[in-house]
Amino acid sequence: MPALSRLAPLLLACGLAAVLPAHAADDDPRVTHAERSGFAETGRYDEVTTLCEVFARRHPDAVRCTRFGTSPEGRPMHALVVTRSGAWDPAEARRRGLPVVLMQGGIHAGEIDGKDAGFLALRQVLDGEAAPGALDALVWVFVPVFSVDGHERFAAWNRPNQRGPREMGWRTTAQNYNLNRDYAKADAPEMQAMLALVEAWDPIAYVDLHATNGAQFEHDVAVQVEPLHSGDAALREAGRAFRDAVIDDLAAQGSLPLPFYPSFVEYDDPASGFEDGVSPPRFSTGYFPLRNRLAMLVETHSWKEYPVRVRITRNTIVSVLEQVAAHGQAWTRAASEADARAATLGGSTLPLDWKATDRARQIDFRGYAYTRTPSEVSGTLMTRYDETTPQLWRVPLRDEIVPAATVELPRGGYIVPAAHAAWVGEKLAQHGIAFLRLETAHPALPVSAFRAGATTFGAAPVEGHQRLTLEGAWRPEPQDIGAGALYVPIAQPKARLVAALLEPQAPDSLAAWGRFNNHFEHKEYMEDYVAEAVAREMLADDPALRAEFEARLRDDPAFAASPRDRLGFFYRRHSAWDARYNLYPVLRVEVAPQ
């Protein structure tokens, strides 16, 4: 990469000058391997264990080193609890009304900026060089590396479109889960441990530290926050204030921050511009608004040198601490009010998904000169950037966000039959969702059922699941409910999360992730020769049915040409038909069962 190599020394020098404190002692055990190497390298995971213990030992008034989980390969998952308030456990933090901010690095362990920037910021904050007084006003929970096994799949070029460090970890876990697709479904043990940490501390803000993929341009960081387009309407004000304050701080420090993820609308074509949006709850910024909490996604630009990315991430962390210290109590009160409002959402219309409209505005974007020419390698049109020639792009941005799908919530809640109560109850508990177990049977309970009129199974697996898209509607249909079923009330603070998991058409529902696919597979059947005899009997016994069948033959050529559909016409009307086929096995009630 000749063009990249020419820029490396200049970027490295600028980054180091802005990052390294002038008086950092070489023998300070709190200094990371990354810092000692001039941010050419990053340390291995055992350094996290060492630093966690060192900071706790050197700063007993401000740091506790905790272990909140164990990875599938047996590594400890560390979190540092940092505060000078004395609130060392979640109950004490709540009693004192202290806001909690949880920051995690290394959810994609090749994007490890957050680990090294976090330890750098931690040392500077503890030494009074950054965010003075912040630790008196908040609790900072810092997870240096989320995907700890992925971190140790260590090699050069694990991130081929990223400048440094020299070696880094891998995108997925040892079980090949992408944790940044796992917040809602929570398959991975690491995610289940993180959700338990979140449930314990209930952070007002969750900060997710990444390095982006993508094209080459001058902008060096993107900062997105939700709720801002989605979630509780009143809490969006806090989300916007949080995002704008951090972006202003970064701009004042020389960065070129963006308030949207800089991914082109059309792959590899800068002229197509950008589209803002709301991520589904498999991602952190889609998940935490469903809990009525703030989520910030920080994406440094992968083509900036590692020292530059660490400096920007460090600046972001410090800004977040300052903002949460100053406004966290007010935001926490706003979140509590949002909790109360969420508990009254029953019977209202709720968005399940979001989209950008076609309406676009033109923006100035700081890119580089580029060409788009056919490639002799791939045979397709390819973009080539010239980083020596900055260029202002005038491109469209679609940032008008509206609901893409909505649902009218039940006034009561959801019924999960006993056959699925164990695993669904475990999943709900992982998210801190309240539910009750019905100890007695409820025959002919007035419920609404969702029957799918069309089903589309994913052609390829996603995260080990065959995803499912359902078309259909809820309709009143009394059902016999056996003892041991679960009742999940909608009247609870996490009502939005309840709907996200249990509404079958939500983008990251349990149904969408294929957890109920068995119920949409046809298991029983009628032999054709039996169906022939049944059809003749039904035609002879029911003149109205005969008229309906003949009209269908006359008016629907595809039906008339399909022996399967013609026999199925009668089978579906026969008592042998499986009444549970295409029936979503979670029901809705308007009144809580007694």
Q: pLDDT tens for residues 433-442?
A: 999 999 999 9
Strands of the sheet containing 381-398, edge to edge, are 274-275, 381-398, 361-374
Q: What is the DSSP secondary structure assignment for residue 465, as one 8-state letter?
A: B
Which among 461, 479, 576, 425 is positioned nearest to 178, based on CA atoms?
Answer: 461
Q: Could you give the CA distance from residue 180 to residue 279 in angstroms, rounded to a whole number?
A: 11
Same domain, 122 and 208: yes
Same domain, 538 and 512: no
> What pLDDT is attached to residue 23?
47
Q: Is residue 475 part of a domain?
A: yes
> What pLDDT is attached to residue 579?
87
| Higher-pLDDT residue of 83, 577 | 83
The predicted model gives 176-190 an average pLDDT of: 98
Same domain, 119 and 228: yes
Q: How far apart are the first and last CA of the chain?
A: 69
Q: Is the pLDDT of residue 133 over 50?
A: yes
- Look up the pTM and report it: 0.93
Q: Could you give the CA distance from residue 238 to residue 281 in angstroms, rounded to a whole number?
A: 20
- Going by pLDDT thresholds of 50, 70 and 90, the confidence category of residue 24 is low
Q: Is the pLDDT of residue 11 over 60?
A: no
Q: Could you give the CA distance from residue 164 to residue 159 in angstroms, rounded to a whole number?
A: 9
Same domain, 420 and 537: no
Same domain, 518 and 541: no
Q: Is residue 243 part of a domain?
A: yes
> What pLDDT is attached to residue 12?
43
Same domain, 170 and 225: yes
The residues facing 486 across adjacent strands are 416, 437
Average the pLDDT over each of 52-66, 484-498, 519-533 and give the range with the smallest value.
519-533
Q: Is the pLDDT of residue 571 over 60?
A: yes
Q: Is residue 6 part of a domain?
A: yes
Phi and psi at residue 418, to the nearest 5° = -60, -30
b/e map of 335-363 (b: 16 or more CB within 10 Å)?
Answer: beebbebbeebbeeebbbbbebeeebeee
> What pLDDT is attached to residue 16?
46
Question: What proportions of the chain, in percent to the nearest 5, are helix, strand and coil?
Answer: 35, 25, 40
Same domain, 165 and 108: yes
Q: Is residue 185 part of a domain?
A: yes
The predicted model gives 310-325 an average pLDDT of: 98
Same domain, 542 and 493: no
Q: Is residue 460 part of a domain?
A: yes
Q: Which two structure tokens, joined as six digits, stand for 317?
A: 């962390």
> What pLDDT is attached to residue 2?
35
Q: Is the pLDDT of residue 282 over 50?
A: yes
Same domain, 337 and 192: yes
Q: Is the pLDDT of residue 19 over 70?
A: no
H helices present in 97-203, as ranges: 113-126, 134-137, 148-151, 189-201
Q: Is residue 353 part of a domain?
A: no
Same domain, 490 and 538: no
Residue 143 class from Cβ within 10 Å (0-12 exposed, 13-18 middle, 19+ buried)?
Answer: buried
Which among 470, 475, 576, 449 is positioned nearest to 517, based on CA atoms?
Answer: 470
Q: Is residue 22 part of a domain?
A: yes
Q: Which two structure tokens, joined as six digits, stand for 350?
A: 């709720």
The predicted model gives 181-202 an average pLDDT of: 98
Structural domain count, the chain: 4
Q: Is the pLDDT of residue 575 over 70?
A: yes
Q: Could you give the CA distance from residue 190 to residue 188 in angstroms, rounded to a whole number?
A: 5
Range of the domain at 399: 364-403
> What pLDDT is attached to residue 41?
98
Virtual torsion, Cα 568, 571, 573, 574, nearest 10 deg: 180
pLDDT in tens, 443-472: 999 999 999 999 999 999 999 999 999 999
Same domain, 284 and 162: yes
Q: Is residue 225 part of a domain?
A: yes
The predicted model gives 224-238 an average pLDDT of: 98
b/e map of 85-108 (b: 16 or more CB within 10 Å)?
Answer: eebeebeebeeeebbbbbbbbbbb
pLDDT in tens, 243-271: 999 999 999 999 999 999 999 999 999 99
| Higher-pLDDT residue of 392, 10 | 392
> What pLDDT is attached to residue 93?
97
CB–CB of 203/90 below 8 Å? no
Q: Tokens 């977040």 sit at which residue? A: 320
The predicted model gives 142-164 an average pLDDT of: 97
Distance from CA of residue 466 to its chain's centroid?
Answer: 19
Distance from CA of residue 467 to its chain's centroid?
Answer: 17
- Going by pLDDT thresholds of 50, 70 and 90, the confidence category of residue 555 is very high
Q: Could you give the CA distance from residue 387 to residue 303 in angstroms, rounded to a whole number?
A: 10
Share of the chain above pLDDT 70, in %: 96
CA dist list (Å): 378 to 265, 370, 373, 382:
21, 18, 11, 9
Q: Could you give the CA distance from residue 518 to residue 423 in angstroms, rounded to a whole number?
A: 15
The predicted model gives 7-29 an average pLDDT of: 54
Q: Is the pLDDT of residue 15 over 70?
A: no
The predicted model gives 50-72 an average pLDDT of: 98
Residue 570: Cβ within 10 Å count: 20
Same domain, 172 and 27: yes
The residues facing 401 across adjacent strands are 356
Task: Choose one of 403, 422, 452: the last residue of a domain.
Answer: 403
Q: Taken in order 148, 153, 156, 159, is the CA torsion positive or negative?
A: negative
Q: Which CATH number covers residue 43? A: 3.40.630.10
Mean pLDDT of the chain: 95
Distance from CA of residue 151 to its chain's centroid?
Answer: 20
Q: Is the pLDDT of residue 386 over 50?
A: yes
